[in-house]
Structure 1
């Protein structure tokens, strides 16, 4: 068994990590109050690095999110951290195959936005095509369509491409965040789908921010 502790949408909050084999970070890692890439680099290399070092996790798998501008605008400046960072790629970690992508359907012109008006999601489908045939854990920032993707305004903003990926590859676990008010857990044909957003609409940390799953 591999114990996974998953969390997304930290927005600078760094809660105590439960004991786990793999800590999964589903994007929006950096503080929400300052999107300057230089600030984000310093924060990742100091405060965030210390948090990772203290975490009781055997491995860390992470993606960026739509607030993590450094990863999109200046990827060469992202500090080397003790993790497996995935951007439309996969890796085997603790005996499981992980694939990760930071991209979301267009959403208020943030980082890692698919092109606006791409109704067929051709851009996102190209990213999903990088997922391997064998896939145990999918980590994307934005939700698949119909699962934790409804905003407070009543809009369903999830991706059909990501949902098709889940149906095609059938991972044991699909993790995402992005829509803070959509946090929850579901089952779909043997796959656990979970919106693991750690904060609420006011960017306040939830009382139990981690999802812990044994695979």
Structure 2
């Protein structure tokens, strides 16, 4: 037996050993609008809404089939907002496209579904079931889940993820909320490691080509409170990119303050893939200092063959 008063060789070796870090690759996409792009390899796939154009059963079936064939140990999906395919609205879609998965919001579809599917009404429950019954997809509707990667060949990591389709109401869109309802972001649990929303937070990956910040301030404050390691959003196509945000936690008189925002320059301009490496090998790892990454990815139908970026963490 070893004398507990004397440190053993094995104990000393254990105490001086550096902690082991496992790399987990997140592949993030949003706003694919019926486009079944070729995805890069990864451990976790996140889709931040806008799977389809009009949310019909046939469109969602194709999208779910695409997701189920994708080779990832975990696949996390949310829905988002929508507007009807009227010519005057289509002009707006070019600047502020929204989610067309309207059948995933039953209350909205009951009131406004005829604007979208007047000749072929859909059954929201059947459409929702495509996602909720999938054995390989984690569908989050303003809810959270604990994800554990247990494959022997994978990173064997676990994390808590919260996902929500809601966005500030602006016209006839599904999953919209008014300013008086912005307290819904209080539902994000404090232990969330990853937050997936269709709307971006205010002033982070939310600027359209009209130079207007379209994100939600209440969501930004919620992210300050929760401080997830990764926040993924969609909705504003032209705001694609990533930012590392460091929250100021030491200023009691000024809540929700940010110390710094480091903007990622998209290396994928003119290319099909982009990589944000947050490991030590990448040179800019996330630290346990209240910082996190706000990541926005849009793979729109016009990007023929485009692939979603990966995040290594």
TM-score interval for Structure 1 and Structure 2 normalised by the shorter chain: 0.7 to 0.9
User: In the aligned structure 2, how far is the partner of 1:193 from the partner of 1:211?
Assistant: 13
User: In the aligned structure 2, how far is the partner of 1:193 from the partner of 1:93?
Assistant: 20
- 1:208 Cα offset (Å): 4.7
Q: Is the Cα contact below 8 Å between 1:103 and 1:124 reproduced in 2?
A: no
> What is the TM-score normalised by the length of structure 2?
0.60
Q: Any idea what SS the aligned residue of 1:192 has?
A: strand
Aligned-residue RMSD, C-alpha: 1.7
Give unpaired runs (5+ residues) of structure 2: 1-22, 82-99, 107-122, 149-157, 247-290
Which of 59, 62, 82 is matched with 2:74 structurally? 59
1:159 correspondence with 2:220: no
Name the counterpart of 2:43. Answer: 21
Number of residues of Structure 1 aligned to a counterpart in Structure 2: 199
User: In the aligned structure 1, how far is the partner of 2:224 from the partner of 2:306?
Assistant: 29
Name the counterpart of 1:69. Answer: 102
Name the counterpart of 1:113. Answer: 176
Which of 183, 193, 210 is matched with 2:240 structurally? 183
Give unpaired runs (5+ residues) of structure 1: none
- 1:43 Cα offset (Å): 2.2
User: In the aligned structure 1, how far is the partner of 2:312 from the partner of 2:65?
Assistant: 26
- 1:91 Cα offset (Å): 0.3
User: In the aligned structure 2, how far is the partner of 1:88 from the partner of 1:21?
Assistant: 23
Q: Is the Cα contact below 8 Å between 1:28 and 1:68 reproduced in 2?
A: yes
User: In the aligned structure 2, how far is the partner of 1:7 from the partner of 1:59?
Assistant: 14
Q: Is the Cα contact below 8 Å between 1:63 and 1:87 reproduced in 2?
A: yes
User: In the aligned structure 1, how far is the partner of 2:307 from the partner of 2:242?
Assistant: 13
Q: Return the index of the structure with the highest Cα Rg.
A: 2
> 1:14-163 to 2 correspondence within 5 Å?
14-30=36-52, 32=53, 35=54, 37=55, 40-45=56-61, 47-66=62-81, 67-73=100-106, 75-77=124-126, 78=128, 79=130, 80-81=133-134, 82-94=136-148, 95-115=158-178, 118=179, 122-126=180-184, 128-163=185-220
Name the counterpart of 1:10. Answer: 32
More strand by share: 1
What are the superposed Cα offsets for residues 142-183 of structure 1, whole Å, 9 maximum, x if unpaired? Answer: 110001212222221110111111111111100001001111
User: In the aligned structure 1, how far is the partner of 2:42 from the partner of 2:75?
Assistant: 10
Q: Any idea what SS the aligned residue of 2:43 has?
A: strand
User: In the aligned structure 2, how far is the partner of 1:75 from the partner of 1:22?
Assistant: 27
